[in-house]
Amino acid sequence: MEVYIDNQKTNFGRRSNDLEKILKAISKKLEKHEKVIQNIYINGSNIQDSIILDIDMDSQNIMEVETKSYTDLILDSLTISKEYIDTYFEVKEDFQQLIENNEKISGIEIEETDSFLNWFSDLLFFLVENYAFAFRSLQETMQTFREELITLDELKEKKDYVAYVSTLDYCITDILENFKTNIDYYYKSILEEVEQKQIVF
């Protein structure tokens, strides 16, 4: 198998035809360069992680791997977080309306909100672990947010959606509003940090 990473021919796939081993080796190498796999194409067809294609590994195959740097990933996440936060506020308003009208809140909608909040928690963690911002409150924000997620999980398990929505109002909303206000600052700080690293090297 011939393996190309970002259009550069590599030595991966020469000694092994085991697709899983090749992908693990590529991921390990990329990790050292602070990159992740974004897309994989085999013989021109895009494959997803969950799809195991019926590939004849004995024939000559061409694998093309597109990567993305951690920095690009985090910048993309910051950009999309604005949209996600706006959607969160719309959904929260819908929840409030349902409560006022004594209507039932769907467990599916709660799950979707929960998925976003967990994604946001991961984003906070990545920012705290990888970047040094001028003000240090992000660490405390992350701690508070994670504590609130535990409370929300307990309420979700009990199916107490009214208390769940109240908890969103009590603390989560403030954190998201503050974060949204500072997104441009985080974005700019990360770009400046990347520039500084390039100057040093």
Per-domain residue ranges of the chain = 2-69, 72-200
- Note the CATH number of domain 72-200: 1.20.120
pLDDT band for position 196 (cuts 50, 70, 90): confident
SS3 sequence, the chain? CEEEECCEECCCCCCCCCHHHHHHHHHHHHHHCCEEEEEEEECCEEECCCCCCCCCCCCCCEEEEEEEEHHHHHHHHHHHHHHHHHHHHHHHHHHHHHHHCCCCCCHHHHHHHHHHHHHHHHHHHHHHHHCCCCCCHHHHHHHHHHHHHHHHHHHHHHCCHHHHHHHHHHHHHHHHHHHHHHHHHHHHHHHHHHHHHHHHC
pLDDT at residue 198 in the model: 63
pLDDT band for position 50 (cuts 50, 70, 90): very low
pTM exceeding 0.85: no
